[in-house]
Amino acid sequence: QAGGAVWGALAGLVRMGLPSLLPQPGEDAPTQRWLLVDQDGLLLADSRIAPPQRSETVASPDAAAAPAAERVQTALGVSDAQWAALSSSSTANADSQQWGHLMVTRVGLPLPRWQVVAVRDLSTRLLGLQRLTPWQWLALVATAVAVALALLGALWWLSRPLVGLLRQGTRRRAEAPALRPLAAPVQPGGRMPDSVVPVPPLAVPEGLSPLVLDEASHLREHWQALEQELHRSQQQAGSLEAAVVQLLEAMPGGAVWEQGEVLLYVSRRAAALLGRDAKSLQGVHLHQLLHNQSGLRQWIARATGSLASFGHVRGEVPWKLQPGLTRWLQVQGQAMQLPALGNLWLLDDAKVLRQQRRLARWQDAHDAGTGLPNQYTLQMQLQSWCAAPPTEPQGQGLLWLDVDYFTALNATAGRAAGDEVLRQVAWLLQREQGAHGLAARVGADAFVLWLHAADTEAAVQTLAWRLCAAVQEWAPHYAGQRFVLGLSVGWLWTDAADLDADQLLRTAEAACREAKRSGQGRAVQARLPDVLRQ
């Protein structure tokens, strides 16, 4: 205007478009306020203040004089710091901040550095409750009360049977006489205490209902049956523990019965290996006896996983003897079957074995991962036996074994999991080789079991299928995932003399490949006509 008052700004000056920068106005336009501010923070226009009417006459200089402009901080009721955080000297920008119940959006205009400020009152937008009339409020409250009453009625209807049972039980307890204890608890060891007095026959009070009498008699019979069962179970537990202790003492090496990493019983030979008294070791935690060194807890975790997955674990562990003394013992762990719960640990001195492993000739003849003889050692011994067979013909069995699904497990669970599976297969073969056999590792997941004196062909066939079933029963878990394993076996048996060792191995390997092609997890007999003489 001629007096200097601003009527408005041309929308064409905003090149980026106000609709893309400012929030869209809703239906409740009275809750929104629009301001026009200059670069100094002076309020140029306010949507709540109507602009002056256009006049056809030219205003005089005195009439054109406008009052001092109001600052935007005063209009919004904010501090200078709050406005400075929202305002900016840049023109092509936009910013929004919430000050209490007000949402303030500021947009800069290109010329002449004016700013458009949109103010929205958020206090009246909550759920649109400001639009509800008193009758609508009344209907909303009535609906909530009706729903609550309906829920309470449904709960009452569903709880009627339970209330009836509770009332019936209370009534019967009030009518029944007080029952004294029938017997004292059984002492440990299965012996009944001397203070136990036989319970006299149940006295029948006069006027007692037949229903209550039947229930009391039934309760008495069940109580006596439970006492007898407890007495028998304690006797069985005592006899079972005595049998396990006798078995542990009869073992040639040291034996330890452990449950939950707590030693329940230690044999005399095991106590001698540990340099302690057997009674002092009972109830001791396993961690207190193992030497504290790096990797020990990892071995215990691996041993626990192997017992759960394979039922067996083997390794060499340092044990504490006395303060400052340590002894390496060879440990074989076996999960005990019901009814004797826990784990069985067989201990043996590992000094000689550790010394042998340090020799170069032992390392050249054995596999480093499993400790079994390698393929070169197997071929040398097999050739030596075939070149000089015994004077009396003896049957011999040869089994070529290949682990099924090993490549998938090794790629998915890692090499550590694959190495553990190979060690378990090695232990399985060493357990079956006996005193006159040899187990060797001849490939990544291939093994050979050679039996010097196999009695019959049926015995070798039974052994091959038993090995397949043993591996299929394993349930290894790695990284929370369960893996399925199998074993393919090619086997042969012969009692002929003057045999070719290399041809025996090739024939058994070919039978193993046939077992894999025919479905895996099975044993296939090798064809012997071309194997006998060179």
User: Does any domain span residue 36?
Assistant: yes
Indicate the SS3 state at residue 78: coil
The pLDDT of residue 445? 92
Final residue before a domain boundary, out of 151, 175, 199: 175
The pLDDT of residue 51? 59
**Whole-number Cα distances in Å, 234 to 181, 187, 191:** 21, 9, 9
Final residue before a domain boundary, out of 128, 149, 183: 128
Taking the C-alpha atoms of residue 493 and residue 104, their distance in angstroms, rounded to an integer, is 93
Domain holding 423: CATH number?
A: 3.30.70.270
Q: Are residues 428 and 496 in the same domain?
A: yes
User: Does any domain span residue 196?
Assistant: no
Q: Are residues 258 and 289 in the same domain?
A: yes
User: Does any domain span residue 83?
Assistant: yes
Q: Are residues 318 and 445 in the same domain?
A: no
Q: Are residues 498 and 411 in the same domain?
A: yes
User: Does any domain span residue 534?
Assistant: no
User: Does any domain span residue 508?
Assistant: yes
User: Does any domain span residue 432?
Assistant: yes
Q: Are residues 124 and 140 in the same domain?
A: no
Q: Are residues 427 and 455 in the same domain?
A: yes
Domain holding 291: CATH number?
A: 3.30.450.20
pLDDT along the chain (534 residues), means of 10: 71 49 52 81 80 50 56 84 74 75 79 78 60 80 92 87 80 63 48 50 53 64 74 64 72 78 81 80 78 67 76 76 75 70 78 78 86 90 77 80 90 88 90 81 92 83 92 83 89 78 89 91 81 44
* Residue 90 φ/ψ, nearest 5 degrees: -70, 150
C-alpha dihedral over 347, 353, 354, 356, to 10 degrees?
A: 180
Q: Are residues 139 and 120 in the same domain?
A: no
329, 314, 307, 195: which is closest to 260 by C-alpha?
307
For the whole model, what pTM was predicted?
0.51
Q: Are residues 409 and 472 in the same domain?
A: yes
Domain that holds residue 47: 11-128
User: Does any domain span residue 195?
Assistant: no
The pLDDT of residue 56? 46
Q: Are residues 345 and 402 in the same domain?
A: no
The pLDDT of residue 57? 45
Residues 64-91 as b/e (b if ≥16 CB within 10 A, e otherwise) read eeeeebeebbebbebeeeebeebbeeeb
Question: Roughly how many angstroms between the first and final C-alpha of the chain, as a whole number?
Answer: 122
Taking the C-alpha atoms of residue 314 and residue 344, their distance in angstroms, rounded to an integer, is 12
Helix-strand-coil percent breakdown of the chain, rounded to 5?
Answer: 45, 20, 35
Taking the C-alpha atoms of residue 228 and residue 212, their distance in angstroms, rounded to an integer, is 25
User: Does any domain span residue 515?
Assistant: yes
Final residue before a domain boundary, out of 311, 328, 356: 356
Domain holding 64: CATH number?
A: 3.30.450
Q: Are residues 120 and 139 in the same domain?
A: no
Q: Are residues 170 and 107 in the same domain?
A: no
Domain count, the chain: 4
Bridge partner residues of 261 (DSSP): none
Q: Are residues 260 and 382 in the same domain?
A: no
382, 389, 339, 420: which is closest to 503 by C-alpha?
382
The pLDDT of residue 343? 80
